[in-house]
């Protein structure tokens, strides 16, 4: 059940597909070349493999526990988080002026992937803290930044995001928590928040809650929501901790997976009101919270890739070790099951999906870096639009993929996969939440239809398709059977995606229920094709560099060819579901169910 970071594939995706050299040429990133990136990744791998990964199974067996409004985390988590903070890992992507390291997102992303692969439960705490930091740095006052940002970036404190309430799941218009202004400029916050990841724990001295609530007289709906910082312990002017705030954990959930991560029910204001500080302006809280949510959605997509990679590695090891049945070629005795064609099919399916999704995520990370650091405003805007389009795909497609791939991991183990002691089932259980939190797959799909396709009439999506068409021309210029097969499959996938975009744009306003019934299929189609695009690019690079590392690049070529023949053909079926099944879905009346 050990984990080994796939450094070679990570570096390949960063350098060859995401364009690390272009990122390191951006202002402020000049020091982050391939040698620096490799050094950072190697250090991250040491920590994740040696310190965090051994805790994953322990966290499943001995989850966090709650007693007397306090949470005790899994044995070893507190010590590991202390090492995480001391190593500076919480601050890798955050600005140096607040104590961070200011690394490009392209380098920080594989570090996050390793941490999530080592233990999803552990990594959730710094993941949510990253979102809180980003929201504070974007919208918080200088005073809030001074009081909270440094401690969060150093890892001395952690952060949470508090959206959901018992009556308000994904519908944030139904939020009822309230915040009453006080004469000293603070607010008293009252309400109940549920599903708060690491809302209470024992790993740091303070927890900084970012809480959505309404002020008196606020407009109805999402326009009347404000965002507040509500610390577990109040903070004195000199930065020292003050008294306990009126924010308490009243229970934690018992879950299918990620059991070591405490999912808290938090009660604010039962004893006079929790002291809070408004972030930015009143009634703009949802706008600020979306900063956190967008960061978290990309991160959850990386979680899907991470847990799929962990499951793949375990399945490969098991398939090498498990001896059963004769080889179909007629061996004298039983062989390791990795020799059997269907086991190879399952492992290649896992590998191809993971490599494609990883590459697409790293490409998106590079686009984010350019969006924030390119000297030209037009280049910034172009990259931001690409990143915005890709985020719901990375979140939705990669997490749906992870459920399928971890399930295949169980299947490779056979009956032993259903036995908890092998650990295969944990990856399957842990992955199941990923398609749900930070916005379900349907929410991501609605986003890509409404905000990312209809709003610009498919302009960004079609621009990506135009880039895919250029890759098809490059494939045709490579004189190889593998490139020809990929070129044909990629073209069919691109044409299917273009047809889906046209259908969404043509019918999104006139037949919204028909279009949105096919939204998840549209998201999956985009994921299949865009990941296939990255696999096609990888294939050509692997062919060009084959002699320099035959084993690595031959495996790349075969994996890409497998994607072309086994995954990209799904595009045609997904297009049919988008254009035809939506109307049929809505023929079914509520009463018929």
Catalytic residues: 438
Where b means 16+ CB within 10 Å and e means fewer, 479-515 reads eeebbebbbbbbbbbbbbbbbbbebbbebbeeeeebb
**CA gap 354, 51 in Å, rounded:** 24
Q: Which tokens belong to 285?
A: 């809280």
**CA gap 114, 48 in Å, rounded:** 6
| In contact, 534 and 358? CB cutoff 8 Å | no
| In contact, 450 and 461? CB cutoff 8 Å | no
**CA gap 529, 166 in Å, rounded:** 38
Report the SS3 class of residue 140: coil
| In contact, 545 and 555? CB cutoff 8 Å | no
Q: How far is CA 523 from CA 173, 349, 401, 450, 584, in A?
A: 25, 19, 12, 12, 19
**CA gap 345, 367 in Å, rounded:** 33
First CA to last CA across the chain, in angstroms?
Answer: 43
DSSP 25: T
Q: Which tokens belong to 10?
A: 């990570």
Cα atoms in the 13 Å half-sphere on the side-chain side of 328:
7
**CA gap 20, 469 in Å, rounded:** 23
DSSP 168: B
**CA gap 8, 462 in Å, rounded:** 32
Phi, psi angles (nearest 5°) of residue 276: -130, 160
Contacts of 589 (CB under 8 A, 6+ apart): none
DSSP 199: S
**CA gap 398, 522 in Å, rounded:** 14
- Element spanning 114, H or E: helix 105-118
Q: What angle do CA 463, 467, 468 make, to 5 degrees?
A: 115
* Best CA proximity match to 369, nearest among 13, 119, 22, 66: 22
338 by Cβ neighbours in 10 Å (0-12 / 13-18 / 19+) ranks as middle
**CA gap 440, 528 in Å, rounded:** 19
Report the SS3 class of residue 326: strand
Q: How far is CA 542 from CA 17, 77, 349, in A?
A: 11, 40, 19
């Amino acid at each position: 059940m050990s984990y080994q970071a796939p450094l070679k594939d990570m570096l390949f995706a960063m350098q060859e597909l995401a364009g690390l050299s272009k990122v390191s040429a951006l202002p402020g990133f000049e020091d982050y070349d391939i040698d620096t990136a490799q050094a950072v990744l190697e250090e991250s791998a040491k920590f994740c493999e040696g310190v965090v990964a051994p805790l994953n199974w322990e966290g499943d067996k001995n989850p966090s526990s709650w007693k007397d409004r306090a949470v005790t985390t899994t044995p070893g988590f507190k010590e590991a988080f202390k090492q995480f903070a001391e190593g500076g890992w919480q601050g890798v992507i955050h600005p140096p002026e607040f104590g961070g390291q200011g690394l490009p997102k392209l380098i920080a992303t594989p570090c996050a992937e390793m941490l999530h692969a080592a233990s999803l439960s552990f990594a959730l705490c710094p993941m949510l803290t990253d979102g809180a930091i980003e929201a504070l740095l974007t919208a918080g006052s200088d005073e809030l930044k001074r009081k909270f940002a440094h401690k969060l970036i150093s890892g001395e404190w952690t952060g949470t995001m508090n959206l959901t309430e018992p009556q308000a799941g994904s519908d944030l218009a139904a939020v009822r928590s309230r915040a009453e202004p006080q004469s000293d400029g603070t607010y008293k916050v009252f309400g109940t928040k549920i599903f708060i990841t690491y809302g209470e724990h024992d790993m740091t001295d303070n927890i900084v809650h970012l809480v959505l609530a309404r002020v008196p007289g606020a407009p109805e709906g999402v326009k009347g929501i404000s965002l507040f910082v509500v610390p577990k312990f109040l903070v004195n002017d000199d930065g020292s901790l003050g008294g306990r705030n009126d924010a308490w954990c009243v229970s934690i959930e018992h879950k299918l997976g990620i059991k070591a991560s405490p999912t808290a029910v938090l009660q604010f204001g039962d004893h006079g009101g929790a002291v809070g500080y408004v972030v930015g302006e009143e009634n703009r809280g949802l706008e600020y919270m979306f900063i956190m949510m967008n960061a978290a959605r990309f991160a959850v997509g990386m979680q899907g890739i991470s847990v799929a990679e962990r499951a793949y590695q375990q399945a490969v090891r098991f398939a090498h070790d498990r001896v059963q049945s004769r080889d179909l070629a007629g061996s004298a005795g039983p062989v390791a099951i990795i020799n059997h064609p269907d086991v190879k099919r399952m492992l290649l399916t896992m590998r191809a999906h993971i490599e494609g999704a990883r590459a697409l995520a790293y490409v998106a990370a590079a686009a984010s870096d350019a969006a924030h650091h390119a000297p030209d405003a037009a280049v910034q805007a172009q990259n931001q639009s690409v990143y915005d389009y890709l985020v719901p795909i990375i979140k939705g497609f990669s997490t749906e993929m992870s459920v399928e791939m971890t399930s295949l991991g169980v299947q490779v183990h056979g009956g032993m996969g259903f036995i908890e002691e092998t650990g295969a089932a944990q990856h399957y259980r842990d992955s199941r939440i990923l398609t749900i939190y930070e916005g379900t797959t349907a929410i991501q799909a609605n986003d890509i239809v409404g905000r990312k396709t209809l709003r610009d009439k498919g302009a960004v999506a079609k621009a990506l398709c135009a880039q895919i068409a250029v890759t098809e021309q490059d494939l045709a210029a490579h004189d190889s059977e593998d490139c020809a097969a990929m070129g044909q499959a990629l073209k069919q996938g691109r044409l299917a995606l273009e047809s889906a975009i046209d259908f969404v744009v043509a019918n999104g306003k006139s037949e919204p229920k028909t279009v949105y019934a096919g939204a998840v299929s549209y998201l999956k189609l985009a994921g299949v094709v865009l990941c296939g695009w990255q696999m096609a690019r990888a294939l050509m690079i692997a062919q060009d560099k084959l002699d320099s590392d035959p084993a690595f690049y031959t495996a790349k070529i075969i994996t890409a060819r497998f994607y072309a023949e086994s995954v990209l053909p799904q595009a045609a079926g997904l297009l049919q579901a988008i254009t035809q099944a939506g109307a049929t879905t809505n023929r079914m009346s509520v009463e018929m169910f």
